[in-house]
Structures are given as C-alpha cells and as structure tokens.
Chains A and B, each alone.
Chain A
C-alpha cells in the first residue's frame, strides 16, 4: 500500500521539521524576544518570528500526515499535543522523542517499507 511506502519518509520529514521548528522557537523565545524587550532591538525577533510562522505551517502539515501514517487517533490528546508542540518552546523536542518511541518506531517495525511486502509477493 501507499501508506507503507510513505511512512518512513514522512516520519523522517516530521522529525526534521520538529527539530527545525523547535530550534527556531527557542531562538525566538530565548534570544529574539529578550532582545526586543530589553535591548529594544527587534530585528532578530522579526526575522525569526516570521520564519517560525512559515515553518510551523509546514510542520502542521507534515506532523498531521505523520499522525495518520503511524495510526494515531485523530481525536486524541496525543495528536493535538503533537500539532500544538510546534508553538510551545522546548516541548517540540520532548514530544518528538515521545512520538518516535511510542508510535513511529513500532509502526516502522510492524511494516518495514517495501522489503517484506516484496518478499511476500515473491512466494
């Protein structure tokens, strides 16, 4: 099935986006905003803030696709937390670890992309 082939790349894209978005958010919250508030220099905040906004849109799409492919329930706290994690500093990394352990790795182990399916078809 298509889902089996998409699972690994989408999961990888999700993890990359989680790290990129999470890093942007940390720079924004712990460097950009303090600079804006205390040093009255909003250059960094503007650039990183906009970048995070754009990246979060990509993160949302990729993360949602990932939750479907690893068979998380849509109407569940876990899915909502995964999607929201891209807007909460540090949580992105925690959630990425949890999702990888709890859902991505079991899902990939259950259906190793392509290999098993082809072997089964050959018999």
Chain B
C-alpha cells in the first residue's frame, strides 16, 4: 500500500482543487472492501495449504482442492483489481445508459424551445413550427416510454 502515506499530504497541499479520483479508494467503505479482499485471498491460500497437507497425508481427493483454492485466490485478486480499475475509470455505460433521448433533427431540447422560436430565419430551410412541435412531442413520448419501461418490475439489489 504505497499510496496510503501519501494521502494526508495530497489533501493538505490542495485545499481548493477537487480531490483526485483515487481518494475514493481510501473511504471507509473501500477500506472495508480492501480488508475483505485480503482476508478472503489469504483464507483461500490457507485452505489450499490445508488441502495440500491432507493430500500429502493420503487423501487423494484433496489433490483436486489443492489446485482449486489457489485458482479461486487468483480470481479474487483479479476481481479486486477490476473493481478498483472500474472505480477509477468508470466504463462508458454510465453515460450511454442515461435517460437522454436523442431528439429528432430539427427539435430543440424541451427547455430551449421558447427562446429558440423567434430566432428562426424564414426561407432558409429551417423546419416549420409544426415540425418542431411534432418532433418535441415525439421526444416527449419517447421520454415517457423510457420512464415507464421498467415499472412493475422488481428493482431489488440495484
């Protein structure tokens, strides 16, 4: 844990600037997760060692578990490093799964529709008011549809 001692210095030096992304990894929640990861990996290695001793003592079946536990331990390390990587660089999905609806061409975002009205230049190929209204109404319907899409389903463990 080479980062741990650096934490106080970083916060003391930068009073105004936003905290660096990795600071999230030293919150109590994440420290608990780190401890859990270390404990499970150590526990799995210990179980592997125990099975190895049993195998040497003559329990043939233990040979299988002797190799299984270290593999689980390796997976534990892999999973732990992935969670950290994901936390530091959130995958693109967070932006991709937003409730944003792509407005059809010519439509403005709902809030901007009133200000945008007078700015239209006649005779320059700008969409007429009906087109805009229709596009906005379609976008509104799409938004509603998106909101109710998951209604009536169990949302536990989100």
A residues adjacent to B (C-beta < 8 A):
46, 49-50, 53-54, 57, 60-61, 64, 71, 73-75, 77-78, 81, 83, 98, 101-102
Cα–Cα, bound, A98→B91 (Å): 23
Q: A45: nearest residue on chain B (CB-CB)?
A: B61
SS of A interface (majority): helix
Closest 9 CB pairs of A and B: A75-B83, A71-B93, A74-B86, A74-B83, A78-B157, A74-B82, A50-B64, A53-B68, A46-B61
SS of B interface (majority): helix
Q: B157: nearest residue on chain A (CB-CB)?
A: A78
CB of B72 within 8 A of CB of A57, answer yes
Q: How large is the interface on B (under 10, 10 to 19, 20 to 34, 35 or more residues)?
A: 20 to 34
Shortest CB-to-CB span from A48 to chain B, Å, is 12
B residues adjacent to A (C-beta < 8 A):
33, 61, 64-65, 68, 71-72, 75, 79, 82-83, 86-87, 91, 93, 97, 153-154, 156-158
Known: A57-B72, A71-B91. A77 touches B64 (CB 8 A): no
Tell me how many residue pairs across A and B have CB atoms closer than 8 Å.
42
Q: B156: nearest residue on chain A (CB-CB)?
A: A98
CB of B97 within 8 A of CB of A75, answer no
Q: Which of B33, B72, B79, B156 neighbours the largest number of chain A CB atoms within 10 Å of its CB?
A: B79
Residue in B79, B83, B158 whose beta carbon sits within 8 Å of that of A78 in the complex: B158
| 4 other A-B residue contacts (CB within 8 Å) besides A64-B79, A71-B91 | A46-B61, A60-B72, A75-B83, A77-B157
